[in-house]
Amino acid sequence: MSQKKTIARTPLTDAELERLGPDDIAYMKLSSDELARLRLINEARATARAYRTKMIGIEQMPILAELRAVGVDTESIWTLLKRTTPYPEAIPILLKHLQLPYSDVTRDGLARALAVPEPEVRRAWAILVEQYRSCPFGLGFVAPADTEMLRLGAKDGLACALSAAVTEETLPELIELLRDSSNGNSRVLLLSPLKKLRKKSEHVRSVLAELIKDPDLVTEISSWK
C-alpha cells in the first residue's frame, strides 16, 4: 500500500500569517513556530484594537457628557444608534459636534445618529449638505492615533442623514447631490427617498432614468423591482 508523500513548503512569513483567514488556518497545517508567531500577531492585534477603542472613547467624552446633561445616557455615539426611543433633545448637541474636527469614525457615528425624522434635523438641511459636500471619502485615517489607512465612512453617514431629512422642498437639492459624481459612491445611500417616490412621481422616474447611467448608481437602481 503506497503512502502519501508530505510536500514540504517554505515557512510562512509574518506578513503571510497576518493575511490568513480562519478558513486558511483550519486548512493549512501550521508548524509550531508558525503557530507561536500567529499567537503573537493576534495578541498585538488585540492590544491595538483595545488602544483604538480607548482613544475613540476619549475623543467622544465631551459629546457624551453633553448628552448626559440633557438626559441621554449612552456609552458611545454608536450605542446611541441602538436606542428604540426618540432622542430629540440630543439633536442640537449632535449637530454642533458634527461640525467640529473629530475623527472620521466619530463623525460617521454623529451623522448616522442624525439619520432620524426629527424636525430639527430637517431644519438643519443646509448644515448637512455643507458637511456632506466637504467630507472626504476613499482611504484615510479613520480613528484617533490610526497608523493604517482604511476606508472612510463619514460621508456615508452623512448621506444617511440627508436621506432621512429630505422633504419635498429639499428634494431638488438631493437630486443635485446625486448627479454630482464627485460625491462618489456614497450617493447610493441618497437614493432611498427616490425609490419611495418613483411610483408616484413622473419627475422622479425621469431622474432615475438619467441616474441609472451613472456607474456608481446603476447596480442599486437596477436591483429595484
Q: What is the C-alpha separation between 82 and 60, in angstroms, rounded?
A: 17
What share of the chain in percent tops pLDDT 70? 95
Q: What is the C-alpha separation between 105 and 153, in angstroms, rounded?
A: 7
Contact 143, 48 (CB under 8 A): no
CA distances from 212 to 46, 135, 199, 216, 222 (A): 43, 24, 16, 9, 7
The pLDDT score that the predictor gives to residue 4 is 52
Q: Identify the segments of the chain with pLDDT beneath 50.
A: 1
Which strand (E) or helix (H) includes residue 151?
Answer: strand 150-151
Question: Which residues have a Cβ under 8 Å from the Cβ of 10 and sit 6 or more positions away?
Answer: none
Grid coordinates standing for 209? 432614468
The pLDDT score that the predictor gives to residue 6 is 52
Q: What is the pTM of this model?
A: 0.82
Which strand (E) or helix (H) includes residue 128?
Answer: helix 125-134
Contact 157, 110 (CB under 8 A): yes
